[in-house]
């Protein structure tokens, strides 16, 4: 990982005035709309705003995917800046699994409630709560990454 | 000022929560949760007013806004917990000061929206559009909240004492 840490892009993200702050702001903004759109669908399924047509919420999905790309690219940038910090921390892999699980639950709910137009059942509502819980877990894991790492950089002479 | 804020934090027990092993990251996580609730409800409502997904009836969608308000209060509480537990890191921090300005902007904009524009908006159904001035209000709301998030995220990086801004001195 030492060569990655020494790569000029990696050094720029770590050491320039704007690199790290800009990346982390983009990561937060991406998260806001990625998780926000999922929350909107979940809340509607749980029973809030019953007069909001559930099939129209997914029309915000292009925004959700764009936000996901922003969060993904900014996340990769953070990983390139401090590869050992994330890759040596099991919380990082847990976060990736939680993101995958949250997407799978979101996709399942979209299929059932929107695409197949099934009546919203108690199980769907439970799953919507699971979806919210999974996204909150992603947030918690992400926040913990800043507190649980054991190695920041493998080399310290930059 | 700093001492008053700090003693508030200490007297209410907030300080010991924030100083505990996982206190700070857990409260931060709640702060991020509230932010997502706000953007997922108020943010999407603003986007609808701006013309996204016009088929959504604004009257029905507005019922999500109370959830956003709950997210806002969650963040006001958790934000106060950070701020009063380390006031010297916030009071003189240009990112925090900028965040407060965006929050004030969002607040004034919201008051204006509900006192002047809401009667026009609240009954709008599918494919009905708000007037041009209301679109501007929606845009200001969205920009202010994005500003709040970005400036909030920058608080960690522009800690005082600083040469980061022209008013830092």
Q: What is the pLDDT of residues B4-53, one digit of tens each?
A: 999 999 999 999 999 999 999 999 999 999 999 999 999 999 999 999 99
Is B112 within 8 Å of B137 (Cβ atoms)? yes
B51 at the A interface (CB within 8 A)?
no
Q: Is position B69 within any domain?
A: yes
Q: Is position B36 within any domain?
A: yes
For chain B positions 120-149, those within 8 Å of chain A (CB to CB) are 146, 149
From chain B, the residues in CB contact with A20 under 8 A are 157
Number of domains observed in the structure of chain B: 1
ipTM for this model:
0.94
Q: Is position B106 within any domain?
A: yes
Q: Is position B165 within any domain?
A: no
pLDDT at A157: 52
Is B81 within 8 Å of B14 (Cβ atoms)? yes
User: Is A50 close to B60, i.e. CB distance below 8 A?
Assistant: yes
Q: Is position B121 within any domain?
A: yes
Average pLDDT, rounded, for chain B = 93
For residues B142-163, give the mean pLDDT: 87
Q: Is position B71 within any domain?
A: yes
From chain A, the residues in CB contact with B63 under 8 A are 48-52
pLDDT of B166 strictly over 80: no
Cβ count within 10 A of residue B40: 30
DSSP state letter for B42: I
- Sequence-ordered list of residues with C-beta below 8 angstroms from that of A105, at least 6 positions apart, any chain: A127, A130, A131, A134
pLDDT of B165 strictly over 80: no
A16 at the B interface (CB within 8 A)?
no
pLDDT at B167: 72
pLDDT of B160 strictly over 70: no
Q: Best mutation site among B25, B38, B40 for testing chain A: the one with the most A CBs within 10 Å?
A: B40
From chain B, the residues in CB contact with A71 under 8 A are none
Q: What does the radius of gyration of chain A's CA atoms come to, in whole angstroms?
A: 18
Structural domain that includes position B103: 2-154
B23 at the A interface (CB within 8 A)?
no
Q: Is position B138 within any domain?
A: yes
Q: Is position B162 within any domain?
A: no
User: Is B56 close to A136, i.e. CB distance below 8 A?
Assistant: no
pLDDT at B161: 58
Q: What is the pLDDT of residues A67-104, one digit of tens each?
A: 999 999 999 999 999 999 999 999 999 999 999 999 99
B47 at the A interface (CB within 8 A)?
yes
pTM for this entry = 0.94
pLDDT at B164: 62
Burial of B90 (0-12, 13-18, 19+ CB in 10 A): buried
Q: How far apart are CA A20 and CA A81, in angstroms?
A: 8
B81-B83-B84-B89 Cα dihedral, nearest 10 degrees: 140
B162 at the A interface (CB within 8 A)?
no
Q: How far apart are CA A111 and CA B122, in angstroms?
A: 31
Q: What is the pLDDT of residues B68-80, one digit of tens each?
A: 999 999 999 999 9
- pLDDT per residue, tens digit, chain A (158 aa), is 788 888 889 988 888 888 899 999 999 999 999 999 999 999 999 999 999 999 999 999 999 999 999 999 999 999 999 999 999 999 999 999 999 999 999 999 999 999 888 899 999 999 999 999 999 999 999 999 999 999 898 876 54
């Amino acid at each position: 990982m030492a060569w990655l840490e020494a790569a000029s892009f990696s050094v720029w993200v770590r050491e320039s005035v704007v690199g790290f702050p800009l990346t982390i702001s983009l990561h937060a903004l991406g998260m806001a709309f990625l998780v926000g759109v999922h929350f909107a669908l979940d809340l509607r399924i749980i029973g809030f705003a019953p007069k909001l047509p559930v099939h129209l919420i997914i029309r915000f999905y292009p925004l959700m995917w764009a936000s996901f790309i922003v969060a993904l690219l900014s996340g990769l940038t953070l990983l390139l800046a401090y590869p050992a910090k994330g890759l040596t921390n099991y919380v990082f892999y847990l976060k990736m699994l939680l993101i995958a699980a949250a997407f799978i639950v979101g996709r399942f709910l979209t299929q059932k409630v929107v695409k197949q137009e099934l009546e919203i059942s108690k199980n769907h509502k439970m799953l919507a709560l699971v979806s919210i819980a999974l996204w909150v877990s992603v947030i918690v894991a992400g926040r913990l990454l800043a507190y649980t790492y054991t190695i920041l950089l493998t080399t310290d002479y930059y | 000022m700093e001492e008053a804020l700090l003693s508030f934090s200490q007297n209410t027990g907030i300080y010991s929560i924030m100083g505990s092993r996982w206190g700070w990251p857990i409260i931060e996580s709640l702060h991020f949760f509230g932010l997502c609730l706000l953007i997922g409800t108020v943010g999407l409502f603003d986007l609808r007013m701006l013309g996204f997904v016009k088929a959504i009836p604004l009257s029905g969608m507005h019922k999500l806004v109370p959830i956003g308000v709950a997210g806002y209060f969650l963040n006001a509480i958790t934000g106060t917990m950070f701020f009063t537990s380390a006031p010297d890191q916030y009071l003189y921090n240009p990112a925090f000061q900028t965040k407060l300005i965006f929050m004030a902007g969002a607040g004034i904009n919201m008051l204006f929206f509900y006192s002047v524009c809401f009667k026009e908006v609240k009954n709008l159904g599918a494919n009905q559009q708000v007037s041009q001035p209301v679109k501007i209000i929606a845009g200001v709301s969205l920009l202010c909240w994005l500003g709040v998030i970005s400036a909030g995220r920058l608080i960690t990086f522009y800690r005082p004492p600083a040469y980061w801004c022209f008013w830092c001195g």
